[in-house]
Structure 1
Amino acid sequence: MPLLRLGVSLQPRWPLDDGTAVLRAAGHAEDLGFDHVAIGNRLLDSGFGLDTDPLVLLAAVAGATTRLRLLTSVLVAPYYPALVLANQAATLDVVSGGRLVLGVGTGWNPDEFDAVGVPVRERGARTDDHLAAAKVLWAQRPADFDGPFTRLRAAHLGVPPVTPGGPPVWVGGRSDAALRRVLRFGDGWYGTGADAAEVTDVRRRLRELAADSEDADRLTLASAQFLTPPGIPAAAPAPGRPLGGAAPTAASVAHDLGRLTEAGLTACTVWLPTAAEHAEKAMEWIAAEVMPQLTGDGPPGTI
């Protein structure tokens, strides 16, 4: 059975008068043995969570840690011109020593699309264009590219990535268009709140949509999952079924993770809908109560 890499989202609303709190939490996650930390992408105030640029914040996390992988969960690709996206991601890949995983999606928030001047109806086409251009820029020097929104001639990206071909890309979404995007541009699929049956269904659909089943089988399957550990107050309701059910225990959380692993999930980001002051305690509960129940001889944070 493949190993499950367990990470944690750094999404609580960290205090503005202590800008290093999130960096301390990331260092604590590394000390506890998590595989990765994740940051989402919001441009406008959502009312809950850390509404920052994920590439900027993860660059700071890279400097505060040594081992953790750094996941954008997820970066809205249409917000970033292709050249900017490619250069920022390559920069973070370099300064982190190749620890970046670029989770991307098409986005959904009409207010943010209006604010950046991008028509929301173009989000899918722009995501395809930007990912295709970034892949060319990461792999070729000089790079030529002709797309509906990006044109490059003999372009030399400002900084080449240290990861050959660029950082791994995990593409979000469950529609057929999203899964085709995974196959065209991705190294993995990234879901949100997917249960074992949904992961199994995504695996099946990827194999059906792929020209060659081996192209689907090469992909990482990953998902964000929600969890409020017992005894820790939730700051917001989970947007989907939490790991372990409504009243989770260490055993029920480990059981759900085992089911996801059996279905083919190989990376799981635990999203904690807690206030910032409880985030480290929540991570400690997972490390102390859940991780010991997970089997495997892999690196820290793995089943």
Structure 2
Amino acid sequence: MPALSLGVSLQPRWPLDDGRGVLRAACRAEELGFDHVAVGNRLLDSGFGLDTDPLVLLSAVAGATSRLRLLTSVLVAPYYPALLLANQAATLDVLSGGRLILGVGTGWNPEEFDAVGIPARERGARTDDHLAAAGALWSRRPTDFDGPFTTLRAAHLGVPPVTPGGPPVWVGGHSDAALRRALRFGDGWYGSGADAAEVTDVRRRLRALAGDRGDADRLVLASSAFLTPPGVPAAVPPPGRPLGGAAPTAASIADELGLLAEAGLTACTLWLPVAAGDLGEAMEWIAAEVVPQLP
């Protein structure tokens, strides 16, 4: 059974008068041995936590850390023109020494799509276009590309990524369209709150959708999970099924993580719905009580 890598989402509502608090939390996550930190992508206030641009924030985290992988969880690809997406991601790939994982999705928020002037009905087609164009820009110089939303002629990306072919792309979503997108453009699939049965089913569906190509097993399977450690008060309700049950213990959390690993999950991002001031305590409890019980 492959080892399961654990990461932490940097989503608590950080005090605006202490902008470096999130960097201290990232450094603490690195000290405690976590594999990655993750930042979501909201343009308008979500009410759930830190609503910043993930590439900007993770650039600061890259400068404050040396080992942590940096995950966008997830970046809404239609918000970023393809050339901008490719250039910004390549820049962070270079600055971090190849630590970026580009988690992407199509988005869902109609208010945000209206605010940026993009029809929500185009979000799937734009995501495909932007990922295809970014992949071309990362892979070859000069680049010609013809898509429904992007046209490039002999384009030389401003900064080539240090990771050959560009940073790994994890495609979020549970629909067949999302799984097809992962097979076409991704290096991995990224779920939300998936349990072991769903991970098993996603692997089955990926293999079926891949058909004769038979390349589904090359994809990394990863997911976020929602956890409020015992003794740490929740600041907001978790947005999905809690890891380890309604009254989690270190043993129940470790057992469920073990089942996820047996199903094929290789990375799990812990989304901790706690106040910013409690994030350090929550991470320390996980490192001390849960991680030693993992296989």
Query: What TM-score do you get using the length of structure 1 for normalisation?
Result: 0.96
TM-fit CA distance, 1:213? 6.0
Cross-structure match for 2:193: 193
Consecutive unaligned residues of structure 1, counting only runs of 5 or more, are 296-303
Q: 1:118, 1:41 → 2: CA distance?
A: 16
- After TM superposition, the structure 1 stretch with the greater mean CA deviation from structure 2, 213-222 or 246-255, is 213-222
Q: Does 1:142 align with 2:142?
A: yes
Q: Does 1:218 align with 2:228?
A: no
Cross-structure match for 1:25: 25
Deviations 1:245-266, CA, capped at 9 Å, x for gaps: 0000000000000000011000
TM-fit CA distance, 1:174? 1.0
Structure 2 residue identity aligned to 1:147:
G
Cross-structure match for 1:38: 38
TM-fit CA distance, 1:48? 2.2
Secondary structure of the 2:225 match is: strand
Q: 1:185, 1:54 → 2: CA distance?
A: 20
Q: What pairs up with 1:109-128 in 2 under 5 angstroms?
A: 109-128=109-128
Q: 1:221, 1:67 → 2: CA distance?
A: 21
Q: Does 1:5 align with 2:5?
A: yes
Q: What pairs up with 1:1-303 in 2 under 5 angstroms?
A: 1-212=1-212, 214-295=214-295
TM-fit CA distance, 1:203? 0.3
Deviations 1:181-234, CA, capped at 9 Å, x for gaps: 000000000000000000000000000000346410000000000000000000
Q: 1:161, 1:212 → 2: CA distance?
A: 32
Superposed CA RMSD in Å reads 0.7
Cross-structure match for 1:298: none
Deviations 1:13-55, CA, capped at 9 Å, x for gaps: 1110011000000000000000000000000111221000000
Q: 2:225, 2:213 → 1: CA distance?
A: 27
Structure 1 residue identity aligned to 2:148:
P
Q: 2:21, 2:252 → 1: CA distance?
A: 30
Secondary structure of the 2:28 match is: helix
Structure 2 residue identity aligned to 1:71:
L
Q: 2:215, 2:10 → 1: CA distance?
A: 32
Count matched residues: 295
TM-fit CA distance, 1:4? 0.7
Structure 2 residue identity aligned to 1:98:
G
Q: 1:212, 1:160 → 2: CA distance?
A: 33
Structure 1 residue identity aligned to 2:180:
R
Q: 2:35, 2:72 → 1: CA distance?
A: 14
Q: 1:214, 1:26 → 2: CA distance?
A: 38
- After TM superposition, the structure 1 stretch with the greater mean CA deviation from structure 2, 100-109 or 235-244, is 235-244
Secondary structure of the 1:243 match is: coil
Instruction: Give structure 1 regions of 4+ aligned residues with deviation exceeding 4 angstroms.
Output: none
Secondary structure of the 2:25 match is: helix
Q: 1:213, 1:2 → 2: CA distance?
A: 24
Cross-structure match for 1:299: none
Structure 2 residue identity aligned to 1:117:
G
Secondary structure of the 2:11 match is: coil
Q: 2:194, 2:212 → 1: CA distance?
A: 25
Deviations 1:107-155, CA, capped at 9 Å, x for gaps: 0000000011100000000000000000000001000000000000000
Q: 2:74, 2:16 → 1: CA distance?
A: 22
Secondary structure of the 1:190 match is: strand
- Specify whether residues 122 and 197 from structure 1 end up closer, same or farther in structure 2 by C-alpha distance, changes over 3 A only: same
- After TM superposition, the structure 1 stretch with the greater mean CA deviation from structure 2, 130-139 or 213-222, is 213-222
Q: 1:176, 1:47 → 2: CA distance?
A: 29
Secondary structure of the 2:215 match is: helix
- After TM superposition, the structure 1 stretch with the greater mean CA deviation from structure 2, 210-219 or 285-294, is 210-219
